[in-house]
Amino acid sequence: MKPLSKNKSVNGTSFHQQTVTATLAELEKAFGPSTGGDGEKTNHEWEFETEQGDPFTIYDWKQGSFGKRDTIDWHIGAHTEEASIRAARQVLARL
């Protein structure tokens, strides 16, 4: 996985039943600070692309308030189910 290229967009990505279980502290250590969230349904989000070039996001969905050391299921958003599976595997490899 790598940072999202300037010519790629995560617009139109969606959840395809792929999650990664981790703490916010673990994700920040692996990927740096989040780019934020919408403040309503998400608090944290990261944008990347897989090694194959598929744009994807990692985000907390309707988790409410939680601490940096609380373990939660983070959603993977991608354009296809196949891309979301690849993304989840690549995220787990970095944790």
pTM, two decimal places? 0.93
Please provide the average confidence, as pLDDT, over all residues in the chain: 95
Per-domain residue ranges of the chain = 2-94
Tell me the per-residue pLDDT of 44-67, one tens digit each, with 9 for 90 and over.
999 999 999 999 999 999 998 899
Tell me the per-residue pLDDT of 21-42, one tens digit each, with 9 for 90 and over.
999 999 999 999 998 888 889 9
46, 34 contact by CB (below 8 A)? yes
Q: What are phi and psi of 94, to 5 degrees?
A: -90, -15
Residue 68 is predicted with a pLDDT of: 95
Residue 11 is predicted with a pLDDT of: 94
10, 47 contact by CB (below 8 A)? yes
Q: Which of 25, 93, 17, 67 is nearest to 48 (CA)?
A: 93
CATH fold of the domain at 2-94: TATA-Binding Protein (3.30.310)
